[in-house]
Structure 1
Amino acid sequence: MSDTSAPRAMRADAQRNRARLLAAASAAFARAGVETSLDDIARDAAVGSGTLYRHFPTREALVEAVLDDRYESLAAEAAKLQTERSPQEALVAWLKLFVNHLMTYRGLAASVTTALHDETSPLHSACHAMRAAASELVATAQRDGTVRDDIDTSTILRLAAGVAWATEQSPTAPARVEQMLAVLIDGLLRT
């Protein structure tokens, strides 16, 4: 009797289709945002819509797969910053990286904000390591006494996502990202 609990290895053609879908999705998200047509992504990848949905049953699953490496990088960068900088400097530098990440694809800030609070979302699990790393940065800066104790990580991430979202909404906002981040950071610091 064979063991049916072990996952089957993906066939070579299925692996190629998945890789083409991820490449097409990344390009489409960069061009038109995360709300772009999934059928267009399938067409760009030269596969049928059924193939796309077999690999990624929901839009969030596709977004999660495209962003998975980036979230791991954000978590790793948080750990690196903690060893190289003061708690306040590490948090500030990481928040800038996070906002820049959210500005990669139009609509990503809203998707991530929703996913952070929806445990059933595939994007939620992808965000978990990144959120845990952010929580450690915030806690360290709070223990250090440089960041207010009455602000939690969820609030900080929502505010940072708000900066990214505001940037999407106005053609002049990208030039003001640094200014908006400075206001956010000033609000976090203990006076």
Structure 2
Amino acid sequence: MTTVTGAGDRSDARRNRARVLSAAGEAFAERGLDVPLGDIARRAGVGAGTVYRHFPSKHALVEAVFAQQLGELVASGERRMSRSAPTEAFFGFILEVVGTTRSRATVCDALDADASWPRPVLTATVARLHQLLETLLRAAQRDGGVRPEIGPDDVVALTVGCAAMLRVRHDRAAGIRLVRLTLDGLRPSAPVVTEGRSFRDNRGPHPAPACEQCGTVLTLRPTGRPARYCGAACRQRAHRSRPSP
């Protein structure tokens, strides 16, 4: 008897592929990339042959898992963009990316360590993610919620740094608090940093105090009157430049 391949078979194939991807993502996060494909097949409830039909190598499976995870992030970001105010959508998305990095850490580290992998699907998904990030950023800037000089590369670098910081914190709640404090630096209300220094009091951001003669940044005194000059030489120059009474 001849078996006719139809819509039902294709639907079964799609479901099996999704089950393998889900099982592989969980296994990689729990046990690393050394987990055998046979174990992934058992976790997914399919035969090993089904895994190999969809993913002929471990490399192909790892790439597909990561592409799916990034695709889910893109879909989540697009939903945020349609449902939330621009600034809320932007910061909410960055926090989501940072907060879910741990589940992708093993796969991400493997891809970073081996740049020779062919990854056309992954490349397309990463491009979609970067485009979404720029769209969210520009909308938040037009909304007045993010500094206008911030670019997409700045956001990517900051996101990577926040994710690394969160990964090494044992207290996740404390780590998220630090991430939020760091991301606050993107807001227009954050203090302006000049030559690595900044100054803020309870009234908001202010430039660091500087010598009235040469512009050298001054060290704040805990008591007494604020300094006006960096030293005796500038003080004398200022005195000589004063008009005679």
Correspondence for 2:67: 64
Correspondence for 1:80: 83
Runs of 4+ in 1 over 4 A off after TM superposition: 8-13, 108-114, 118-121
Q: Which has the higher contact order (CA 8 A, sep 6+)?
A: 1
| Root-mean-square deviation (Å) | 3.5
Using the TM superposition, give the Cα deviation of residue 16 of structure 1 relative to its aligned residue in structure 2, in angstroms. Answer: 4.6
Deviations 1:152-175 (A, max 9, x none): 223313322332233223423x12
Correspondence for 1:99: 98
Correspondence for 2:138: 139
Unaligned runs of at least 5 residues, structure 2: 1-5, 191-245
* Contact preservation (8 Å) 1:78, 1:90: yes
Identity of aligned residues (%): 30
Amino acid at match of 2:47: V
Rg larger in structure: 2
* Contact preservation (8 Å) 2:89, 2:136: yes
Using the TM superposition, give the Cα deviation of residue 32 of structure 1 relative to its aligned residue in structure 2, in angstroms. Answer: 3.5
Classify 1:19/1:106 alpha carbon distance in 2 versus 1 (closer, same or farther; 3 Å): same
Correspondence for 2:43: 44
Classify 1:187/1:105 alpha carbon distance in 2 versus 1 (closer, same or farther; 3 Å): same
Secondary structure, in 3 states, of the residue corresponding to 2:100? helix
Using the TM superposition, give the Cα deviation of residue 138 of structure 1 relative to its aligned residue in structure 2, in angstroms. Answer: 0.9
Using the TM superposition, give the Cα deviation of residue 38 of structure 1 relative to its aligned residue in structure 2, in angstroms. Answer: 5.2
> Which of the pair is proportionally richer in helix?
1
Amino acid at match of 1:52: V
Q: How many pairs align?
A: 174
Correspondence for 1:184: 182
TM-score, normalised on structure 2?
A: 0.56
